[in-house]
């Protein structure tokens, strides 16, 4: 495989702002990664449906190539999809059906099994079972966005654009008005226990906003759930809030997998309070922002209110920005280059053995 490759990239989501009523955390980091790969001379062909065009009416300036076919590629790169009953497990054409899983199956069948195409699986949601056959094929590499990935998997964190990180100005962020003490942006999926332990009792005592898809909220009467918001509004919410709490499903917390919510919040100057139950939590936030329960959340927010706009506040924001360095896009590109080399070498070695 040459230095410049044709990368067949499969993802189910958006490169632009997309539409409001859909989950897709990848909008904050997918396009910078793709643009960086293109800037390095690779050709990227998208192998799932063009949801930006079909659903959001956004042609993205005509910069990207989508195909429903099976073109010649050098490497298959999958953002892993998994069965979701009632959505991608139903027959094509039925109401609410999405064809992401069927298309992924086709791509794996044709490229990985028949053509022996080097394949990279980015298991961003930690949904690929430990015993999956895909973890044991020599020309398949599995990546995870965790500090402690599953044995045999490679680390590929969610990338943060270098320029966005370098532009972060802690002094400006510290003096910005922040009328909302507490905000949460994100969906309910698998977070009820953490929400009860670290957020809900605090929100009951503080002005707050909870944005995202929370379908079952009757157990938290009196809390302010606004529903999903357009992607561009996420930064606006963080920009007007003093603090958020990083609520992670257990499968993320035990492996030290932090979502994009960390850098979305920090780059807007919203202080990220992190539960002490998250593995390697001190690598994500300063010790002052680690909380053990909702009472701790209230205590830290009251302290943040007391230092708001001060030099101490500015220094704390700067320290949070420094902790974003592991996510820097240029560093993740280096990790991805190593992955491409490894999977290419494994494929070449297998071809030599079988010839």
Residue-level pLDDT at 27: 87
Q: For residue range 267-301, what is the model confidence (pLDDT) as tens digits?
A: 999 999 999 999 999 999 999 999 999 999 999 99
Residue-level pLDDT at 28: 87
Q: Is 49 exposed, middle or buried (0-12, 13-18, 19+ CB in 10 A)?
A: middle
Q: How far is CA 159 from the centre of its chain?
A: 9
| Whether residue 2 has pLDDT greater than 50 | no
Mean pLDDT, rounded, for 143-151: 97
Q: For residue range 214-239, what is the model confidence (pLDDT) as tens digits?
A: 989 999 999 999 999 988 899 999 99
- In sign, the C-alpha dihedral spanning 175, 180, 181, 186 is negative
Nearest-angstrom CA–CA distance, 184 and 131: 34
Domain boundaries, the chain: 6-159+328-354, 162-327
- Cβ contact 314:171 at 8 Å: yes
Q: In 3D, which of 95, 75, 104, 69 has the Cα closest to residue 3?
A: 75
Residue that wins the pLDDT comparison between 72 and 22: 72
- 208-211 vs 180-185, strand pairing mode: parallel
Residue-level pLDDT at 355: 47
Q: How far is CA 232 from the centre of its chain?
A: 16
Q: For residue range 77-89, what is the model confidence (pLDDT) as tens digits?
A: 999 999 999 999 9
Nearest-angstrom CA–CA distance, 242 and 239: 8
| Whether residue 13 has pLDDT greater than 90 | yes
Share of the chain above pLDDT 90, in %: 88
Q: For residue range 156-179, what is the model confidence (pLDDT) as tens digits?
A: 999 999 999 999 999 999 999 999
Are 6-159+328-354 and 162-327 the same fold in CATH? yes
Q: For residue range 92-142, what is the model confidence (pLDDT) as tens digits?
A: 999 999 999 999 999 999 999 999 999 999 999 999 999 999 999 989 999
Q: What is the dihedral of CA 141, 162, 258, 119, to 10 degrees?
A: -10
Provide the pLDDT confidence category of residue 195 given band limits of 50, 70 and 90. very high
| Whether residue 338 has pLDDT greater than 90 | yes
HEC string of the chain? Answer: CCCCCEEEEECCCCCCCCCCCCCCHHHHCHHHHHHHHHHCCCEEEECCCCHHHHCCCCCHHHCCEECCCCCCCCEEEEECCCCCCCCCCCCCCCCCCCCHHHHHHHHHHHHHHHCCCCEEEECCCCCCCCCCHHHHCCCEEEEECCCCCCCCCEECCCCECHHHHHHCCHHHHHCCCCCEEEEEECCCCCCHHHHHHHHHHHHCCCCEEEECCCCCCCCCCCCCEEECCCHHHHHHHHHCEEEEECCCCHHHHCCCCCCCHHHHHHCCCCEEEEECCCCCHHHCCCHHHEECCHHHHHHHHHHHHHHCCCHHHHHHHHHHHHCCHHHEHHHHHHHHHHHHHHHHHHHHHHHHHHC
Q: Is 317 exposed, middle or buried (0-12, 13-18, 19+ CB in 10 A)?
A: buried
Share of the chain above pLDDT 70, in %: 97
Fold held by 6-159+328-354 = Rossmann fold (3.40.50)
Report the DSSP beta bridge partners of residue 9: 46, 77
Q: CATH 3.40.50.2000: does it fit domain 162-327?
A: yes
> How confident is the prediction for the chain on average, in pLDDT?
94
Report the DSSP beta bridge partners of residue 244: 183, 272
Nearest-angstrom CA–CA distance, 117 and 74: 7
């Amino acid at each position: 495989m040459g230095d410049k490759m044709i990368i067949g990239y499969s993802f189910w989501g958006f490169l632009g702002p997309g539409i409001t009523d859909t989950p897709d955390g990848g909008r904050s980091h997918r396009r910078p990664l793709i643009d960086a790969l293109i800037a390095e001379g690779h050709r990227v062909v998208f192998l799932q449906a063009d949801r930006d065009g079909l659903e959001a009416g956004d042609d993205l300036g005509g910069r990207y190539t989508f195909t429903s076919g099976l073109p010649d590629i050098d490497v298959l790169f999958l953002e892993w999809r998994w069965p979701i009953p009632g959505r991608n497990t139903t027959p094509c054409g039925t109401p609410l059906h999405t064809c992401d899983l069927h298309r992924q199956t086709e791509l794996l069948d044709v490229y990985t099994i028949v053509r022996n195409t080097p394949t990279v699986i980015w298991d961003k949601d930690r949904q690929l079972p430990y015993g999956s056959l895909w973890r044991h094929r020599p020309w398949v590499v599995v990546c995870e966005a965790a500090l402690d990935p599953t044995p045999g998997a490679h680390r590929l964190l969610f990338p943060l654009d270098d320029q966005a990180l370098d532009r972060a100005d802690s002094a400006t962020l510290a003096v910005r008005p922040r009328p909302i003490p507490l905000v949460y942006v994100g969906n309910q999926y698998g977070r009820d226990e953490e929400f009860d332990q670290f957020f809900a009792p605090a929100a009951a005592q503080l002005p707050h906003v909870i944005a995202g898809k929370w379908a079952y909220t009757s157990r938290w009467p009196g809390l302010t759930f606004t529903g999903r918001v357009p992607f561009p509004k996420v930064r606006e919410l963080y920009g007007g809030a003093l603090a958020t709490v990083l609520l992670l499903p257990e499968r993320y917390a035990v492996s030290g997998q932090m979502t994009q919510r960390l850098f979305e919040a920090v780059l807007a100057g919203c202080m990220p309070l992190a539960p002490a139950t998250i593995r390697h939590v001190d690598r994500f936030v300063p010790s002052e922002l680690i909380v053990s329960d909702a009472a701790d959340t209230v205590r830290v927010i009251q302290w943040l209110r007391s230092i708001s706009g001060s030099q101490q506040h500015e220094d704390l924001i700067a320290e949070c920005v420094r902790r974003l360095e592991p996510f820097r896009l240029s560093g993740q590109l280096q990790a991805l280059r190593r992955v491409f080399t490894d999977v290419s070498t494994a494929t070449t070695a297998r071809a030599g053995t079988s010839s």
